[in-house]
């Protein structure tokens, strides 16, 4: 951080302030009463001059430039990998600590990849940049960490159901407009995502690695889980699917532990886990849903049951839902800033 008085509130900047995650970053700072002396908002020249509300006032968005970070203590980046690669090092040179929401630095061995409920210690002695993990990684493994501590998870398999919010505000608008057109019987040409979105689902729209057959989103979940858990031996497989939900991702997860574990064991662990809320009511058939996770901080966990395909009793299946814009992005970044 810059050489300010450690007891004085920091100057905080948000890069990509007008995007879907940027707006949530502002909201999180306000809702959590983050102690800052000044908030600065940056975006592209196209968005410069707009104003966004914060603490009862309007903050003007500034154009992001190479000299924008003078006097900034904490810079929260959510503007894509290209912007992060160019401007995050400049922010660090100016004395700021960067919390970056893109994939630019996540797998850099010198950069901490942090979920505060799992590995807050990783930010000690950080080099100036701290990476915010992939949204699916955060939402899937935060509830699994206390289980992993009690009974090591050796294998993890998941299928994700990812909302439009993961592709940004433009994708959310495309889902709204294409759904409206579908219901009205009008033709709609998708421009943001590669396939029609209304009443459809499709494999995540990232490039497929020809060698492994996994797409970039799936490989991120695999690699980031190992880094955050500090466990290179954990076996992870993922299938990532884009579904016509506005915000909040959901995942079907099956994990295998080193020793037998029961659904009752898992419920008891998760009942005390930070950042997690049990939603597990078989009587009402009520389990985690995006509609309940949207706009809320906790990751919802339910459908906790034995994996009947594993006679050893070491495997559990469950279902989770978490707000991609909050715990999957903005909230996790603000929690990291709180640690700083």
User: Annotated catalytic sites, by residue?
Assistant: 135, 249
Closest CA to 15 of 71, 73, 61, 52: 61
**Cβ contact 293:323 at 8 Å:** yes
For residues 198 and 2, what is the distance between their CA atoms, to the nearest angstrom? 47
**Beta carbons of 116 and 333 less than 8 angstroms apart:** no
Alpha carbon separation from 207 to 80, 194, 214, 217 (Å, rounded): 16, 12, 9, 8
DSSP 143: T
315-322/249-257 β-pairing: antiparallel
Please give the DSSP secondary-structure letter assigned to residue 113. B
| H or E, element range at 159 | strand 153-162
* Whole-angstrom distance, CA of residue 331 vs CA of residue 336: 9
Tokens of 229: 């858990």
The neighbouring-strand residues paired with 253 are: 158, 318
Q: Cα–Cα–Cα angle for 294, 62, 28, nearest 5°?
A: 25
**Pairing mode of beta strands 38-43, 11-15:** parallel
C-alpha to C-alpha distance for 326 and 329, rounded to whole angstroms:
5
Alpha-carbon span 63 to 73, nearest angstrom: 18
C-alpha span between 78 and 89 (Å, rounded): 15
Phi, psi of 92 (to 5 degrees): -65, -45
Three-state secondary-structure class, residue 214: coil
């Amino acid at each position: 951080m810059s050489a300010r008085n450690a007891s004085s509130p920091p100057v905080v900047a948000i890069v990509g302030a007008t995007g879907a995650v940027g707006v949530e970053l502002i909201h999180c700072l306000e809702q959590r009463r983050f102690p800052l002396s000044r908030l600065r908002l940056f975006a592209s020249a196209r968005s410069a001059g707009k104003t966004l509300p914060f603490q009862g006032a309007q903050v003007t968005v500034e154009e992001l430039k190479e000299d924008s970070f003078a006097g900034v203590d904490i810079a929260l980046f959510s503007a894509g990998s290209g912007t992060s690669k160019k401007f995050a090092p400049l922010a660090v040179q100016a004395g700021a600590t960067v919390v970056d929401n893109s994939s630019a630095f996540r797998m850099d061995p010198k950069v901490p990849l942090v979920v505060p409920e799992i590995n807050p210690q990783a930010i000690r002695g950080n080099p100036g940049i701290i990476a915010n993990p992939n949204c699916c990684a955060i939402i899937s493994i935060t509830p699994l960490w206390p289980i992993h501590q009690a009974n090591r998870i050796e294998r993890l398999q998941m299928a994700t159901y990812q909302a439009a919010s993961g592709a940004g505000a433009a994708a959310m608008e495309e889902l709204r407009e294409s759904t409206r057109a579908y219901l009205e019987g009008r033709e709609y040409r998708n421009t943001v995502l590669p396939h029609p979105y209304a009443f459809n689902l499709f494999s995540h729209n990232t490039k497929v690695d020809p060698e492994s057959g996994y797409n970039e989103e799936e490989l991120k979940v695999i690699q980031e889980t190992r880094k955050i858990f500090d466990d290179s031996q954990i076996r992870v497989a993922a299938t990532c699917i884009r579904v016509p939900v506005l915000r909040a991702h959901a995942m079907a997860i099956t994990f295998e532990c080193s020793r037998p574990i029961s659904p009752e064991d898992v419920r008891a662990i998760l009942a005390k886990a930070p950042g997690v809320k049990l939603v597990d009511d078989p009587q009402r058939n009520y389990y985690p849903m995006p509609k309940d996770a949207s706009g809320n901080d906790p990751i919802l966990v339910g459908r906790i049951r034995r994996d009947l395909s594993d006679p050893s009793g070491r495997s559990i299946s469950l279902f989770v839902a978490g707000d991609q814009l909050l715990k999957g992005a903005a909230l996790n970044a603000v929690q990291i800033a709180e640690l700083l």
